């Protein structure tokens, strides 16, 4: 083979390897071709030179990629220095955008590792001065992460506390609050050491509220949270006497741990003991400045069983409630005062009444109880007197005027919700009942020496188990056997069945009936309630088409017999604007009542009601035998009643009109006149008949028949008109016409 052919072969191989990306083989072949080119005396090939340069670039890129691959593997293995060498080597030839940032990160990380390795070595020596210097130096490093920076800040705070630099530690924490459990504990210590007992308690209470396992098991070095000793100062060895005069917060001792701490107790328990030890001085600090609103709530779980600190806890509660009240934070006040006590005192009644009214301003769910407490409070003479007495400005205000003013507050709140459409029947009924009850009882001169809360609403009595006491007071004032309905209608709300009556008045018919006793009661008050519920529910059911209502109304008959007002109410219902469809079921009941009640007015109303039903059925197209039956029953019940007689006449006239129309349609004059005679010459029928005969006469006169034929027809008409209207002028005119035709 000649050198020329070797040249071509090498050149072709080099180009093929170049296309495949095999830069090393391509370069070897192309260099052979370049060498032969000079031997053969060929001119320099620019393209060959360019291809060789391309091979050099490709080889460098491949080397860089291999270096990057090795660098990534080394980085994963944690060999950061070797990885950095590979990435730096790759950067010399590779043009990757991310490589400079990667190299920078690795250099920083290697530096961090060295720095924090140094910190670990320092922390093993327990030299707090050296630690503090190391932490300060490291904090000045420019490339710390957020977490690293925070961790170092926490460690510096701990070091400052260990060295007794409490003020500096506290100031350091203000820049950025500590995060670690240990740092938070030390911050509390620094606060306590400076006399900031409230801050220390707040810090430690929040710490104690952290996940218990996190706190219990958390240690830093050899110092465990909850039993931490700093220098010669131990928190936890504090003696609290029964009186608040002798208080010690930090006992300086050479012991590493408090001898009073049980070594077997958890660190959480120890932390609680330290908090309790701070309480007396924190209390003194609080009353000399401003008590935090949450202090009582925070301390309550710890101190509720602590007899020695109970006076402090009680006073904190009182001061906290007062502070919250002055800030109008009523919902938070409620958290301290609710639930309601079993038997509120008079002063407590005033507090809870105002609290519930304020809560109800923004939440309608509180309105029902607000109504009960507020009405009871404003009608209480002792509370009213307390309101009037303190201020000279109100000396001229009478109890009644003040009562009306306070009542207006509640009325306005109720009306506000009512305008918004938020008052349901239940709440409306509750308000009406409570007002009616308290106003009635307050007007009775009932002795109540043994009852602190008097008068009270029925719901208040039920809430605080006072119902029997109220009934006894009323009975001692007036014997139950002598009670009229003015007393019965109020006293009934204090009975067990009174709730059924309230439900009935609210329109809760089914619930009212379900809450009635299974058997009819025997005592006067409960029986009255039974009958009144039966009356209200019976009316509701009957007027809604439920036949069961009739039996309930019959149970209420004694009320109608004894109290005229119920009869008047029933009469008003029948005469009211109700759709008569709703009243149909009452007709039979009212008729039965009328036979058993000696009341002529009621009997006449019942008879009139029967007639109304008769007319209603007639207008609906019922058969005459159906609607006439009710008229007959009305006549039997009250035969001399004008309205009954009038209805009876109307129905008879209706019957005659029907008979007349049938006879008229057949053209039988004799049958028509017979109906008129039976109707006793009903004016409308006579008028209609004469009009028809007048038209017939004109038609006969206008016909082309002979006069004798006309006379015969007219005489025939005259016979029937004289029977139907003997005294009518029509007859005279007819006779004159006949005479003229005859002549």
The tens digit of pLDDT for each residue in 665-688 reads 888 888 888 988 888 888 888 888
Percent of the chain with pLDDT over 90: 33
Whether 542 has a pLDDT exceeding 70, the answer reads yes
d(CA 64, CA 418): 82
Whether 301 has a pLDDT exceeding 50, the answer reads yes
Q: Is this model's pTM higher than 0.85 or not?
A: no
Whether 110 has a pLDDT exceeding 80, the answer reads no
So what's the pLDDT on residue 487?
Answer: 93
- Kindly tell me the sign of the dihedral angle through the C-alpha atoms of 714, 719, 725, 728: positive
Whether 70 has a pLDDT exceeding 70, the answer reads yes
So what's the pLDDT on residue 244?
Answer: 24
**Burial label, 193 (beta-carbon count in 10 A; 0-12, 13-18, 19+):** buried
Whether 526 has a pLDDT exceeding 80, the answer reads yes
Backbone φ and ψ of 248, nearest 5°: -130, 135
So what's the pLDDT on residue 37?
Answer: 74
- Kindly tell me the sign of the dihedral angle through the C-alpha atoms of 73, 74, 80, 85: negative
What is the overall mean pLDDT for the chain?
81
So what's the pLDDT on residue 500?
Answer: 92
Give strand pairing partners of 224.
Answer: 219
Bigger pLDDT: 220 vs 253: 220
The CA distances from residue 480 to 308, 449, 451, 492, 526, in Å, are 53, 20, 20, 11, 11
d(CA 47, CA 30): 11
Residue with tokens 């407490």: 373
Percent of the chain with pLDDT over 70: 83
Taking only the tens place, the pLDDT of each residue in 339-367 is 999 999 998 999 999 999 999 999 999 99
Bigger pLDDT: 606 vs 90: 606
pLDDT band at 458; cut points 50, 70, 90: very high
pLDDT band at 618; cut points 50, 70, 90: confident
So what's the pLDDT on residue 184?
Answer: 92
Bigger pLDDT: 413 vs 625: 413
Bigger pLDDT: 155 vs 215: 155
Whether 568 has a pLDDT exceeding 80, the answer reads yes
d(CA 189, CA 250): 10
d(CA 275, CA 271): 6
Contact 114, 145 (CB under 8 A): no
The listed range with the strongest mean pLDDT (104-118, 142-156, 258-272, 594-608) is: 594-608
Whether 513 has a pLDDT exceeding 80, the answer reads yes
How many other β-carbons are positioned within 10 Å of the β-carbon of residue 89? 17
Record the tokens describing residue 208, joined without a space.
């104690």
Omega before 265 within 30 of 0, i.e. cis: no
d(CA 382, CA 111): 80
Q: Residue 41, by phi and psi: left (phi above 0), alpha (psi -120 to 50) or beta? A: left
DSSP assignment, residue 220?
E
DSSP assignment, residue 705?
S
Q: What is the pLDDT averaged over residues 205-229?
A: 50
DSSP assignment, residue 380?
-
The CB-side HSE value for 179 (13 A sphere, CA atoms) comes to: 9
Backbone φ and ψ of 458, nearest 5°: -65, -40
Record the tokens describing residue 14, joined without a space.
């080099």
So what's the pLDDT on residue 25?
Answer: 77
Dihedral over alpha carbons 645, 650, 654, 660 (to 10 degrees): 90
pLDDT band at 653; cut points 50, 70, 90: low
How many other β-carbons are positioned within 10 Å of the β-carbon of residue 627? 21
Bridge-based pairing state of the strands 229-230 and 223-224: unpaired
d(CA 525, CA 538): 20
So what's the pLDDT on residue 175?
Answer: 83
So what's the pLDDT on residue 114?
Answer: 63
d(CA 516, CA 499): 9
Task: Kindly give the residue spans of alpha helices, DSSP state H, lying in 217-309.
Answer: 267-288, 295-303
């Amino acid at each position: 083979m000649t050198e020329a052919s070797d040249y071509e072969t090498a050149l072709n191989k080099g180009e093929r390897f170049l296309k495949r990306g095999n830069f090393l083989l391509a370069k070897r072949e192309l260099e052979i071709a370049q060498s032969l080119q000079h031997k053969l005396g060929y001119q320099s090939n620019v393209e060959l030179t360019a291809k060789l340069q391309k091979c050099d670039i490709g080889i460098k890129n491949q080397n860089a990629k291999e270096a990057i691959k090795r660098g990534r593997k080394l980085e994963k293995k944690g060999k950061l220095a070797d990885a950095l060498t590979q990435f730096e080597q790759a950067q010399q030839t590779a043009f990757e955008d991310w490589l400079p940032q990667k190299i920078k990160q690795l250099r920083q990380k290697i530096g961090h590792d060295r720095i924090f390795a140094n910190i670990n070595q320092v922390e093993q020596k327990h030299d707090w001065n050296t630690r503090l210097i190391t932490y300060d130096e490291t904090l000045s490093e420019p490339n710390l992460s957020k977490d690293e920076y925070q961790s170092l800040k926490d460690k510096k705070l701990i070091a400052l506390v260990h060295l007794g630099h409490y003020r500096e530690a506290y100031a350091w924490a203000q820049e950025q609050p500590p995060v670690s459990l240990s740092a938070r504990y030390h911050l509390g210590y620094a606060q306590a050491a400076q006399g900031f007992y409230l801050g220390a308690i707040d810090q430690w209470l929040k710490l104690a509220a952290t996940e218990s396992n996190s706190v219990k098991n958390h240690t830093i070095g050899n110092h465990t949270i909850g039993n931490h000793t700093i220098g010669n100062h131990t928190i936890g060895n504090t003696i609290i006497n029964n009186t608040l005069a002798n208080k010690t917060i930090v006992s300086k001792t050479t012991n590493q741990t408090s001898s009073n701490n049980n070594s077997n107790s958890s660190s959480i328990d120890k932390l609680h003991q330290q908090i309790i030890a701070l309480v007396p001085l924190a209390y003194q600090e609080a009353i000399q400045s401003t008590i935090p609103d949450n202090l009582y709530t925070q301390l309550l779980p710890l101190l509720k069983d602590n007899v020695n600190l109970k006076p402090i806890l009680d006073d904190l509660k009182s001061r906290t409630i007062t502070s919250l009240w002055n800030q109008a934070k009523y919902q938070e006040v409620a958290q301290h005062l609710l639930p309601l006590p079993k038997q509120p005192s008079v002063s407590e009644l005033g507090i809870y009444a105002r609290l519930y009214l304020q809560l109800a301003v923004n939440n309608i769910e509180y309105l029902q109880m607000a109504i009960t407490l507020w009405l009871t409070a404003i009608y209480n003479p002792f509370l009213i007197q307390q309101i009037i007495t303190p201020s000279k400005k109100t000396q001229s205000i009478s109890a009644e005027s003040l009562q009306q003013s306070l009542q207006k507050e509640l009325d306005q709140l109720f009306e506000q919700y009512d305008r918004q459409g938020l008052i349901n029947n239940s709440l409306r009924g509750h308000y009406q009942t409570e007002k009616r009850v308290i106003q009635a009882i307050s007007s009775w001169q009932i002795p109540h020496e043994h009852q602190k809360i008097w008068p009270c609403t029925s719901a208040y009595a039920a809430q605080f188990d006072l119902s029997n006491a109220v009934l006894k007071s009323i009975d001692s004032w007036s014997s139950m056997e002598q009670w009229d309905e003015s007393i019965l209608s109020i006293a009934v709300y204090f009975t067990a069945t009174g709730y059924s009556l309230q439900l009935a008045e609210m329109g809760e018919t089914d619930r009212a009936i379900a809450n009635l006793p299974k058997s009819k009661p025997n005592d006067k008050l409960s029986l009255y309630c039974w009958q009144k519920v039966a009356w209200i529910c019976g009316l509701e059911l009957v007027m809604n088409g439920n036949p069961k209502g009739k039996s309930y109304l019959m149970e209420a008959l004694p009320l109608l017999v004894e109290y005229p007002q119920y009869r008047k109410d029933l009469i008003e219902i029948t005469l009211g604007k109700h759709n008569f469809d709703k009243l149909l079921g009452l007709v039979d009941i009212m008729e039965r009542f009328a036979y058993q009640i000696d009341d002529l007015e009621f009997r006449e109303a019942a008879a009139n009601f029967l007639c109304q039903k008769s007319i209603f059925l007639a207008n609906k197209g019922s058969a005459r035998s159906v609607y006439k039956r009710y008229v007959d029953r009305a006549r039997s019940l009250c035969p001399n009643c004008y309205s009954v007689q009038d209805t009876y006449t109307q129905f008879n006239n209706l019957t005659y009109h029907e008979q007349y129309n049938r006879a008229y349609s057949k053209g039988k004059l004799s049958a028509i006149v017979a109906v008129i005679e039976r109707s006793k010459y009903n004016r409308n029928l006579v008028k209609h008949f004469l009009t028809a005969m007048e038209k017939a006469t004109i038609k006969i006169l206008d016909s082309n028949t002979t006069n004798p034929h006309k006379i015969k027809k007219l005489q025939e008409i005259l016979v029937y008109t004289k029977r139907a209207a003997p005294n009518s002028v029509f007859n005279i005119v007819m006779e004159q016409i006949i005479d003229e035709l005859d002549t």
